[in-house]
Chains A and B, each alone.
Chain A
Amino acid sequence: MKTKSVKEPIRKKWIWIVLFINVVLIVPWYFPKGAVEPFVFGFPLWAFISTFFTLILGAYLSWLCISQWNIVEDEEENAKRKEDVKHG
């Protein structure tokens, strides 16, 4: 199994740049102070946008975990399969 490619999030700069931008967009520092209107689904606009980016953050992190992280997984799963075959 020498063909494996190690995927580790820390080594990919774009992951952290996107993460940083996402976080900056969550905090409502860029709205004019005190603004309330308009309402979207009962949320003031700023809160709606902040929540939207918070949900994006969750989706992004969830996706990162699954697709950008693979260090020993192939090794472990292969070993497990062999183990199963032995006992199976």
Chain B
Amino acid sequence: MDNLVFAGMDGIIILSVFAIVMLVIGYYSGKGDTNLHHSLSGYYLAGKNLGFIALFFTLYATQYSGNTIVGYAPTGYRTGFSWLQSISFMTIIIGIYLLFAPRLYVVSKRRNFVTPTDWLEFRFKSKAVTLLSIFLMLWGLGNYLLEQLVAIGQAVAGMTGGTIPYEIAVVVFVLVMLAYEWMGGMKAVAFTDVMQGIVLMIGIFVFLAGALYLVGGNFAEVTRFIADNEPAKLGVPEMEVSVNWFSMLVLVGLGASIYPHAVQRIYSAESERTLKKSFARMAWMPPITTGLVFVVGIIGIMLFPGLDTAGSEQLVGLMANKIAAINGFYYWMMIIFFGGIVAAIISTADSVLLSFSSMLSNDVYGKFVNPGATEYKKVMVGKIGGIIAIFFLLIIAWNPPGTLYQIFVLKFELLVQVFPAFVLGLYWKRLAAKPVFWGMLIGAIVAGLLTLTGYKTVFGIHGGVIGLTINFVVCIVGSMLVTVSAEKSLKKDELAVLELEA
């Protein structure tokens, strides 16, 4: 988006306003709460006391990033109507939550879990399972964070017409994020998410309105144009595309619901009522988020026909330029919208970073390095570790990879391998540690190798899904053969934690 000429100085003003608001929110969420920095669940889970509005928006802002717009509109542009899948795969996530969140919420409250690893450690009592899952989750989170860092720089540089260069943009916004997160932990993250989420939602609506205005307000006109010029983007997709669609539903549904920062939002809920109300609202968000972005991508086919892959990646910037030229209202709305995209990226990055830090605090340091440390010290280790990780990732981010969507799929491949242990373990008492470990390891290796050797999909099925299938088979068959089950490894009172009627 380096050809965004409409913003410049005005963009810098809006971005500065956003940054200041975030800092103020961060300051006030940490102010007066002396307990915050002395308790793992206080800092990382907002004291397990998030109300409906904060919980809903933090779920929203975590699941929908700036990439959802900047990356998905071009994908819709390139693939056409089969990108409708982006609505369904964001919706199915709620269905997968229903598989495990109700019980996990109860268990997490009973045992005061802080990280996803706490659950796996409690259930399997196996260092091997704990370590492998920590590795897979940190790897997934790290990659996710990297993607957000790349995106921040591109969005800001685009918005300010290159007035703020890519590197400086990233550093400034990372510093803002680190500052408010340092002050308020999860509370700051969730409260800034409210502001960031609202700006993004409004921005998408205005953007779509502007895009529709440009094509004369008639969407049917757009499809007629596509039918005449690029009918392949309109027709019923090939069978392989349908298979790939199914595969995406599995990969994104299982992967996104099991993300460590997603799981920690289940832990953070103030009550079951708050949690289920938030999920019930979240189920309606895909049509008005990825759905509208899809329509934007389709309109792009008519507004800017014939862009190649690299050219289409600039689609949102190109459209914003045109929309901003309509009149003064749209001009300012587009600047705010681009600020909103940056804010949305930050709001996703902050959740991921917080989760990353919590795993350093609670899992790596708290379980393996220094279990006897005070919670204050553990929190401190996580905070500082997170900062070090960010600057390490920044070095990698200076050489951003090609298209955003590619990395999006890559990060799920390994992370999703934690799913069988995580969810089967809740309900099936026979599920044993050894098969879980081998399933996870083999699944991760298969998924990783397939992806690295260029077989990201086989007959439309993602490497991650193939690895996951093998993973499930190893877990289930292995557990039937092994005699050490949860009945033996868990004490009676621990088993009772898993029972709801107890």
- The answer to whether A and B belong to the same complex is yes
Tier of interface size on chain A: 35 or more
10 tightest A-B CB contacts, nearest first: A42-B220, A65-B280, A62-B283, A29-B242, A42-B219, A61-B283, A31-B236, A34-B235, A73-B272, A62-B280
Complex Cα–Cα for A31 and B87 (A):
19
Among B87, B103, B276, B291, residue most surrounded by chain A Cβ atoms (within 10 Å): B276
Q: Is the CB of A66 within 8 A of B276?
A: yes
A-contacting 9-mer, from B90-98, B184-192, B451-459 = B90-98
**Contact among B85, B91, B236, B271 for A61, CB-based, below 8 A:** B91
Chain B positions 262-316 with a Cβ under 8 Å from a chain A Cβ: 271-273, 276-277, 279-281, 283-284, 286-287, 291
Tier of interface size on chain B: 35 or more
**Known contacts A43-B223, A76-B271: A54-B95 contact under CB 8 Å:** no
Complex Cα–Cα for A59 and B280 (A):
9
Question: How many whole Å from B233's CB to the nearest CB in chain A?
Answer: 10
Among A32, A36, A57, A58, residue most surrounded by chain B Cβ atoms (within 10 Å): A58
Label chain B's interface by main secondary structure: helix
Q: Is the CB of B223 within 8 A of A58?
A: no
- Which B residues fall within an 8 A CB radius of A? 81-82, 84-85, 87-88, 91-92, 94-95, 98-100, 102-103, 105-106, 109, 218-223, 227, 231, 234-239, 242-243, 245-246, 249, 271-273, 276-277, 279-281, 283-284, 286-287, 291, 427, 500-501
Complex: chain B residue closest to A70, CB-CB: B272
Complex Cα–Cα for A54 and B219 (A):
20
Q: Is the CB of B271 within 8 A of A77?
A: yes
Pair count A-B, CB < 8 A: 142
Q: Is the CB of B222 within 8 A of A71?
A: no
Label chain A's interface by main secondary structure: helix
Q: Which residues of A contact B246 (CB under 8 A)?
A: 23, 27
Interchain residue pairs with CB less than 8 A apart (30): A6-B501, A10-B98, A10-B102, A19-B95, A23-B92, A23-B246, A27-B249, A28-B237, A28-B245, A29-B239, A32-B236, A33-B235, A33-B236, A34-B235, A35-B236, A36-B227, A41-B219, A42-B223, A46-B236, A51-B87, A57-B92, A57-B95, A58-B91, A58-B94, A58-B286, A62-B280, A66-B276, A66-B277, A69-B102, A76-B273
Q: Which residues of B contact A65 (CB under 8 A)?
A: 94, 98, 276-277, 279-280, 283
Chain A positions 20-74 with a Cβ under 8 Å from a chain B Cβ: 23, 26-29, 31-36, 39, 41-44, 46-47, 50-51, 54-55, 57-59, 61-66, 69-73
Question: How many whole Å from A52's CB to the nearest CB in chain B?
Answer: 11
**Contact among A9, A46, A50 for B99, CB-based, below 8 A:** A9
**Known contacts A34-B236, A54-B91, A61-B94: A47-B84 contact under CB 8 Å:** yes
**Contact among A33, A39, A58, A71 for B220, CB-based, below 8 A:** A39
Complex Cα–Cα for A62 and B277 (A):
9
